[in-house]
């Protein structure tokens, strides 16, 4: 009898408390790494938000700025963080573009703000480094493994050990230099691109040139040592 009453109470509870679907998250979150933008790009981002009817504010975790000129005066030409926020009251929605820890984040609170947010995302993606998705850490791990393999071959064949160790060293050094290049690439520059100076504008090409010279020197050295072996 008690079991029947328990089943009846359970059935009544399930009828009175139907399961409701979880609300759909209509916000947009995007994170981009390896992006370098200049003032030209930042002004385009601000114009996109303003043209969509958003009230735009600029700032960081410490200050709110009235203009980009004030941001340059207070935070310098290459700030470590920068925020661009657009807000609208009717309909109520917001877009936040944030640069912090060398990463850009894009947030749109509602589907109404998706279109301008995607336009901003397209600009940032166009400024993303080509090696943003390159397996730098994997290359370094492979290079380290090959170096250990070369050490294992040293007892059986000195020539083979030299070739294997040179290949491992080449991979490891290339990953190290590519990682350094990638770390230096992500910046928000509050100067126009043509005002940044020759070295700052062409820093990436100069780093790649140095990388090519170092890699070429290693390959030449390894090939020369291998040719001298009997």
Q: Model confidence over 179-213: pLDDT tens digits?
A: 777 777 778 888 887 666 666 666 666 766 777 77
- Is-above-0.75 flag for pTM? no
Q: Is 197 left (phi over 0), alpha (psi -120 to 50) or beta?
A: left
Q: Cα–Cα distance between 157 and 60 in angstroms, integer?
A: 59
Q: Report the pLDDT value the prediction gives residue 90, as an integer from 0 to 100.
A: 84
Query: Between 87 and 172, where is the model more confident?
Result: 87
Please name each of the domains of the chain with its CATH number.
Answer: 26-126 (3.30.160), 136-228 (no CATH)
Mean pLDDT of the region 107-120:
92
Distances (CA, A) of 18 to 12, 188, 189: 10, 51, 55
């Amino acid at each position: 009898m008690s079991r029947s009453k328990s089943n009846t109470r359970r059935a009544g509870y399930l009828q009175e408390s139907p399961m409701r679907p979880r609300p759909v998250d209509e916000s947009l979150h995007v994170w981009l790494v390896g992006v370098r933008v200049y003032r030209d790009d930042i002004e385009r981002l601000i114009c996109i938000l303003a043209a969509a009817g958003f009230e735009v504010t600029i700032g960081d975790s410490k200050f709110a700025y009235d203009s980009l000129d004030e941001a340059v005066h207070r935070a310098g030409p290459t700030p470590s963080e920068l925020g661009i926020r657009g807000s609208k009251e009717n309909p109520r929605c917001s877009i936040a573009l944030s640069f912090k820890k060398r990463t850009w984040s894009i947030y749109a609170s509602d589907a109404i703000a998706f279109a301008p947010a995607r336009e901003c995302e397209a600009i940032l993606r166009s400024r993303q480094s080509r090696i943003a998705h390159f397996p730098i850490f994997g290359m370094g791990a492979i290079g380290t493994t090959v170096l250990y393999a070369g050490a294992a071959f040293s007892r059986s064949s000195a020539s083979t050990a030299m070739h294997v160790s040179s290949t491992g060293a080449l991979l490891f050094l290339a990953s190290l230099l590519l990682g350094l290049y990638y770390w230096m690439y992500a910046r928000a520059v509050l100067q126009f691109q043509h005002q940044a100076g020759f070295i700052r504008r062409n820093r990436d090409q100069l780093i790649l040139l140095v990388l090519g010279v170092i890699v070429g020197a290693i390959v030449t050295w390894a090939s020369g040592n291998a040719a001298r072996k009997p």
